[in-house]
Every structure is written in C-alpha cells, then in structure tokens.
C-alpha cells in the first residue's frame, strides 16, 4: 500500500507511524477526488440547460451534500486528533538523554552542514561567529576547555544504529532545513535558535545497501529550504554504523585530533 506512494526506504523507529499517517491522508484524498469528480459530472448533466430552461433561484435541496461534508470533516478531525497530534507530541516530548543518547550539534550555512560532537566530556565547546574561518567553518573556540576534545566534521554525520540521536540544530545565516528522508525527519534550521530534533536509526548504511541492492547508497542530509544560489549542492551524508564501527570511527577522530 505504501509503495504506491513511492515513499523512500524507511530507516528510523518512528518512520512507521509517519508513513501510516501519510498513507491514510493520501487514501482519503483519493476518495475525495473520485467522489467530488463524480459529483461534478452528475451536476453537469443534472443541471444542464436543456433540462432546466429557467434558472432556479432557490437552488438544489437535499441532505446528501451536507451529510457528506460533515462525514469528511469527521474523518479529517479523527486524522488530526488520533494520528497527527499524538505523533507530533511524541516528537516534541521525551527527548532522549542519558548515556544511551548520541548528542550532536548541526549548524547549517550557505552551503554546508557543520557537525560537532561534544567529545569525551559530553559538553559542547563554545561556538562564536567571529571565529569562523575557512579552516574553522563552525567557529569553534578550541581555547574553551569544553571545546578541546570536540570532534567536528563537514557534511558528514556518523551515528550508531539502534541508539537515539539528538541533534541540536541551528544556522549561521539564513533558514535551512535539515531533511533526512529515510529517517522521516525534517526540521528548519533557524539562525539564533537551537532546535532539538531526534530519531532512532534502525538500519545501518550497509544493511540498507543490501536491502536496496544499491552498493553506493548513502543516507543524505538534504537542505529542504531554498536557501540561496548554492542550495542544490547543500547536501551531507548520514552514515549509520554498527556500535563497533561507530566506536572505531570515533576513536579515529579522537586520534586525528590529538597533536
């Protein structure tokens, strides 16, 4: 049923509920499209000039139109109350925390995604726009004690499978949008605000490659907000790894940082 909609592969714990809602909304729209289309054809023939030489100023009478409208409104309200609001509430409460969660900061700018891991101390180093240079596009203050062990990457987010990932999202310049389609995540990155967004990746990049029979597949970070001339090339990648591979990757980053 979902494949009819051409949805991207699903790779996060909450993608099922998003897809279910998407599919319900689309089926409702199909029913409405066919129903209103049929009504349109009925109205064209029923109220044609040949059968109604004199215009009626009273109009058609009947309860079907009104009861149909009420039924459609009830279905729409049910979708909002029983699907949309609960799904939204789960996204904006119970943010992951504790030692199990992987916490990263992602900062968008024209036209790249800067990623910052807090390092062993679990604290993000200070970032300051006045420190932004070609070598330090995030503007990380390495003199800040919290920032000494921070790991930074550009357009590359590595996460372990099966653990909640909490992204603190912001922007340096204009509004960008952090879109991870396979994770069913989309959140605007707004300058001056830090927006939390979270997901639990359930399929490693390697497993997804096997599943899709596409050996070069990558999860993409797509900027989903038209943000300037280079918007088209503002794309990053998410590599979902096994716990062991992730630890190995992180150890390599830490090693590269130590002079």
Could you tell me the smallest distance in angstroms from the CB atom of residue 225 to Cu ion? Answer: 6
* Residue 165: DSSP 8-state: E
Could you tell me the smallest distance in angstroms from the CB atom of residue 190 to Cu ion? Answer: 12
User: Which stretch, 37-45, 49-57, 197-205, 234-242, contacts Cu ion (CB under 5 A)?
Assistant: 234-242
Could you tell me the smallest distance in angstroms from the CB atom of residue 135 to Cu ion? Answer: 22
Q: Which residues touch 179 (CB under 8 Å, ≥6 apart)? A: 185, 186, 221, 222, 223, 224
- 236 contacts 177 by C-beta, under 8 angstroms: no
Q: Is 109 one of the binding residues for Cu ion (CB under 5 A)?
A: no
Q: Is 234 one of the binding residues for Cu ion (CB under 5 A)?
A: yes
Number of residues that bind Cu ion (CB under 5 A): 4
Q: Is 238 one of the binding residues for Cu ion (CB under 5 A)?
A: no
Q: Is 10 one of the binding residues for Cu ion (CB under 5 A)?
A: no
Q: Is 107 one of the binding residues for Cu ion (CB under 5 A)?
A: no
CB nearer to Cu ion: give 10 or 189: 189
Structure tokens, 74: 């009830």
- 140 contacts 117 by C-beta, under 8 angstroms: no
Residues 227, 238, 240, 250: which binds Cu ion (CB under 5 A)? 227
* Strand intervals (E) in the chain: 102-109, 112-117, 151-154, 156-160, 165-171, 176-180, 185-189, 195-199, 219-223, 235-241
What length does the chain have? Answer: 259
∠ CA 239-244-250 to the nearest 5 degrees? 60
User: Which stretch, 1-9, 47-55, 163-171, 220-228, contacts Cu ion (CB under 5 A)?
Assistant: 220-228
Q: Is 176 one of the binding residues for Cu ion (CB under 5 A)?
A: yes
- Rule CB under 5 A: which residues touch Cu ion? 176, 223, 227, 234
């Amino acid at each position: 049923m979902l494949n009819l909609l051409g949805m991207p592969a699903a790779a996060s714990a909450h993608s099922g509920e998003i897809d279910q809602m998407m599919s319900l909304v689309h089926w409702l729209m199909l029913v409405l499209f066919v129903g209103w289309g049929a009504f349109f054809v009925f109205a064209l023939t029923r109220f044609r000039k040949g059968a109604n030489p004199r215009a009626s100023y009273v109009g058609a009478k009947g309860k079907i139109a009104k009861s149909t409208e009420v039924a459609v409104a009830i279905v729409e309200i049910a979708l909002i109350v029983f699907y949309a609001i609960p799904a939204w509430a789960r996204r904006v409460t119970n943010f992951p925390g504790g030692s199990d969660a992987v916490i990263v900061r992602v900062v968008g700018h024209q036209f790249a995604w800067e990623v910052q891991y807090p390092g062993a101390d679990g604290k993000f180093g200070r970032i300051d726009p006045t420190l932004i240079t070609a070598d330090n596009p995030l503007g990380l203050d390495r003199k800040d004690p919290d920032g000494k062990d921070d790991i930074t990457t550009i357009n590359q987010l590595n996460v372990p499978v099966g653990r909640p990932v909490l992204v603190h999202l912001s922007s340096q310049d204009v509004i960008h949008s952090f879109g991870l389609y396979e994770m069913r995540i989309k959140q605007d990155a707004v300058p001056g605000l830090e927006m939390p967004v979270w997901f639990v990746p359930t399929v490693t990049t390697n497993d997804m490659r096997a599943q899709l029979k596409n050996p070069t597949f990558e999860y993409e970070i797509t900027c989903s907000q038209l943000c300037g001339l280079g918007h088209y090339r503002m794309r990053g990648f998410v590599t979902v790894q096994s716990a062991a591979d992730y630890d190995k990757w992180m150890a390599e980053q830490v090693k590269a940082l130590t002079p």
